[in-house]
Each structure stands twice: as C-alpha cells, then as structure tokens.
Amino acid sequence: MYLSQPDARSYYADSLGAADRPARAPLAGEHRADVAVIGGGIAGCSAALHLAERGYRVALLEANRVGYGASGRSGGQTIFGLAAGQSALAAQLGLEHARRLFDLSVEALDLTQSLIARHGIDCDYRPNHVHVAVRPRHLAEIAAWERELHEVYGYSSARALDRAQLREHVASDRYLGGLVDPRSGHLHPLKYTLGLARAAERAGAVIFEGSAAQSYTGGPEISVATAAGQVRCRHLVLAGNAYLGALAPALARRILGVGTYMIATEPLDPGRAGALLPSGAAIADLNWILDYFRLSADHRLLFGGRVSYSAFEPPRLAESMRRRMVRIFPELHDVRVSHCWGGFLDITMSRAPDFGRLAPNVYYLQGFSGHGMALAGLAGKLAAEALAGTAERFDVFARITHRDFPGGRWLRRPSLVFAMLYYRLRDVLG
C-alpha cells in the first residue's frame, strides 16, 4: 500500500505507463523566453499553452515533475462555483461582480471539456456531480442553494434531489438528498495535467522538470534562477501555489498548504461498481470536513476525506479512511484498499481564489481552495489574456480582497487547527 510521502506514487501515477509520462530535462545554463511560468500543474500548463498559442516564447519551470502537486493527485472533480460561496463574494464585491465570478466558474467547466476535445486529451472525463446532504440542515441549504442558482445566477443546470431521486446517483442510506449538476463532472487529474503539458509543448512552450525556481530579480527584464541555470524573460507567471515556497514571501503569507488524502480500492466487478454509483457521478457531501468519491475508469472506488491543517499526516490514515468509506457503502467491507496517498492544496483565509500582480510584469495564480480542477485551467487562460493586454476578466478576480493568515510564521497553523475544531464538532453534532 502506498502512503502519502512526497515520493510515493498515487493510484493516478500507477495507472500510467512509462510512455504516458516522459521525463523532461532540467534547465541548464541560460535560456531566453518572453514569459517564464513557475509550476507544472494545471494553472501553469494552461498559462503556458495559451501564451504559446498567442505566439509567446514560453519556458515553464517545474521543481519536480509535471502534475506532481495537487493537480495530479486530487479527487479530479470539476465543479461550478468557488469555494468561498457566492454570498460571501456578493457581500464583498457586490452582486454584479459576484455574478461575473460565477459565470467565469461555469466557463471554466466548458473550457475543461473544450481543451480535452481540442487537444485529444484522454483523461477519462465523465459528466455529473452531486453534492449530498448528510444532515437535515443540509436539505434546507440545498433548497436555498437551488433557488439562488436559478433565480440570482441564472444557472438552471443544477437541481435538487429528494432521497429517492438521489438513489439514481448514489446507492447509500447515509444521504438524505442532493444537488446534481450534469455540467460538472470528473476526470483523471494526472492524465489531464499531462495532456495540457503536451499541448503546450506542441504549441511551442519548453518545459523543464527538476528545475525549482530559487529566486527571481524583477524589472523590465526578469531573471529566474534555478540550481543549474537561469531564464531571462520579460514576463513571469507564478503558479506554484502551495509548493511555491519562499520564492514570493508576500504570497506565502496569504495561503496555507492543507494536507488532503485519498484511497483507491482494488478494481471491482463492473456490475458491483455500477451499483454503487449508477449514473457514474462524482459525489461530495456538504460537511465542512467532507467525504468525496467517484469511480475510476477501471472500476475502483476513489475515496477522499481526511484533511490535515497541522502539516502532519493523520495516524493510521488508510485504515481510518477505509472505515469512512465502509460507513457509506457497508457492502465494501470485504474490498481491499490498494493505494493511499495525499498532498497539499492551497487555501486562502476566505477560500476565494487569489489572482493578481506583484509587479506590472509579474502575475500570480493561487488559492483555489479545493476548486482548482476546472478553475485553474481558466486561470491560466486569464493570465495569458492579461499579459497580452486584455486584463478585464483577470481583474474580476484581482478585485477580491485577501488577508494574511493570522499568527505569523509559527502560530498560523496552530491557530487554524484550533479554529477547525469548531467545524469538526459542527459536522458531528449537526
């Protein structure tokens, strides 16, 4: 069984052949480009792709391998909306801007499918996503959510389900109802990220792996230094998110890397797998510390749940996650777990994405807060638009105000762990 150490292989990595993930050489010596992109996840690969398609010479620097971080390890769910919630965005920015942000989140779903089709990315995409109610209060939240989506945001795709209707999507007695959205869906995140990288290279971008950016100097010409070379460029896009490290301290104060974890079962008989999730939908509950799951193309149940705000992996992780899975599907009591892995995603204080500029020619994309599978692809496209001189759509996100996490370097995690106890108790007590 694979655990979630940095060099461990997830189910996603193990499902690929060597030819699916070719090694790319590290940067050596001096390289010149119009734009340097830091980070080989979805946001960085999308930025590289869209910039290269516009004719820019692009160099992408990845510290490890393409798809190493959250982009290649996540639950793979493509979902409308932002993690912050529309009410919070409307309260800060006004309803007009909140609507524009929501529309962009829906555009992100369409862009994901467009990129898959246009570039022939084989990533096992399937439509349908269902948010499910665990507590009676969740049913009231779903009813209000459906009204808001239909009446305020004009999004009629999503619809509420009662308990009987929900059985068409998930065969578990644990859930009371749900909200289904056929425009949302799920995919193999590592295959998708690697597909974006290949598309960027075909468009002319150059990708260097094993090339951590150690520092950069600003100005009209930017120099990005790695251990064995440097990239000289006119523009820089920072898309390292939780793995950016000390490269941009001002950004690091505004995000926190949160550990998230998944397990994969051994392959199930196709009939048995289909009986669990009849529509093939991805599922996520409405608890603060949520469970989420879906089927893989080879009929495994991929199940995510536990989180760690302390930066330490929870004890007996695989066993505890398997118990959570069996609580939802008791019929899986005899099924073996083949993989257990995890990684860090970046959250902001408000759970709203944090896009902006550190200088007129230095752009950054971070803070997807668990909603990055579709949104990160759009973020890369918006950064390319802004860099090319059309910044209106990028600046819709740049208007969001963000605060540093309290507590400074040493106390920010302990204070957040304490705050999360409240939400854990709320999940348990209803």
Beta strand 206-208 with 58-61: parallel, antiparallel or unpaired?
parallel
Give the integer Cα–Cα distance in Å for 243 and 365.
12
Facing residues of 31 across strands?
Answer: 231
pLDDT for the residue 313: 73
Residue where the block lists tokens 């049913």: 139
**Spatial contact of 353 and 101, defined as CB atoms under 8 Å apart:** no
Alpha helices in 150-246 (DSSP H): 163-166, 189-202
- Burial zone of 321 (CB within 10 Å; 0-12 exposed, 13-18 middle, 19+ buried): buried
The residue type found at 201 is E
**Spatial contact of 326 and 318, defined as CB atoms under 8 Å apart:** no
Give the integer Cα–Cα distance in Å for 82 and 352.
7
Element (H, E) at 186: strand 177-186
**Spatial contact of 46 and 66, defined as CB atoms under 8 Å apart:** no
pLDDT for the residue 423: 45
**Spatial contact of 33 and 223, defined as CB atoms under 8 Å apart:** no
Give the integer Cα–Cα distance in Å for 315 and 324.
14
DSSP 314-338: PTTHHHHHHHHHHHH-GGGTTPPEE
Tokens of 245: 């490290």
Give the residue from 266, 315, 317, 319 showing the smallest Cα distance to 295.
Answer: 266
Q: Hey, what domains does the chain have and what are their CATH numbers? A: 11-411 (3.50.50.60)
pLDDT for the residue 4: 40
| Predicted TM-score of the model (pTM) | 0.93
pLDDT for the residue 24: 97
User: Digits of tens for pLDDT over the chain (430 positions)?
Assistant: 333 443 357 999 999 988 889 999 999 999 999 999 999 999 999 999 999 999 999 999 999 999 999 999 999 999 999 999 999 999 999 999 999 999 999 999 999 999 999 999 999 999 999 999 999 999 999 999 999 999 999 999 999 999 999 999 999 999 999 999 999 999 999 999 999 999 999 999 999 999 999 999 999 999 999 999 999 999 999 999 988 888 999 998 888 888 889 999 999 999 999 999 999 999 999 997 899 999 999 999 999 987 776 566 777 889 999 999 999 999 999 999 999 998 888 889 889 999 999 999 999 999 999 899 999 999 999 999 999 999 999 999 999 999 887 665 544 555 555 444 444 545 545 5
Alpha helices in 41-94 (DSSP H): 42-53, 70-73, 86-93
The residue type found at 52 is A
